[in-house]
Amino acid sequence: MNMLRPASALLRVGRRLSRTSIQPLKKTANLKCLMQPRYSQFSSMPSLQAIFKREIVDEKGNCFESESMQTLRTKLGKVFEISEQPGSLKVELKGVVDKDHVHIYFNAQDTVESDDDWEDEEEEEFVDVAGEEDEEETDELPAVRFIADISRGKEVLRFDCVASGNVTIEKMRFIKDIDTVDDDEDTYEGPNFVDLEMDMQERLYEYLSDRFVDNDVGRFIAEYADLKEQKEYVSFLENAAKFIK
């Protein structure tokens, strides 16, 4: 299911530095020369304020809802109330299906990094122009962790999931009283989902789907997490730009 990836940029810079041949300094004169500030080399650079303004314009161009997200929002809006707060990465979806209260929530930056991400970084340096265009066309959404609580009164059946092009259940847990739940390490937190019998897994996916925790929700979460993080990044740029004036 398919932002700013500062980590990948740092990895690329690190690899370039590791390949750079650094010659030992043999003369004191050279060392003194290196220690002297060279302001002239920065004279052609734009000011910090100008750089911030440029970044704000560029990043705002990526801060919009796609047609697919608008369609999903309209569809899910018939079941869930979608809420978020500026400055917070938490997003919630709340709804009622029959007698069950459905509460879905996630952190927009709580993504799952696969082994393929590291392999992609190694391949990036050998991609030609055509390859870069293909990569843009097949760009995947991030895999985002989320929790789906199905509750009746104080009792909750909790599913720890991952959203991408679909929904993947990782763990499930039964909570007898949501008001007294804690993170005690000795508390039994339920089984790993893959350890359950296959027919039970299939029925539990159906159980969630009947409560609208389905692939549409998975797609929406992945897309919206991307947009939410982008919004917060633009807000950061704007606030920082005002501060450094």
* 148 vs 156: CA distance, rounded Å: 10
| Residue scoring higher pLDDT (29 or 94) | 94
pLDDT at 107 (0 to 100): 97
Q: What is the pTM of this model?
A: 0.72
* Class of the CATH domain delimited by 6-113+141-243: alpha beta
Helices 215-243, 67-76: axis angle to 10 degrees equals 120
* 97 vs 108: CA distance, rounded Å: 25
Give the burial class of 67: count Cβ atoms within 10 A of its Cβ; 0-12 exposed, 13-18 middle, 19 or more buried: exposed
Sign of the torsion angle spanned by Cα atoms 149, 187, 114, 86: positive
pLDDT at 1 (0 to 100): 43
DSSP letter, residue 23:
P
- For residue 75, the one-letter residue type is K
| Residue scoring higher pLDDT (186 or 229) | 229
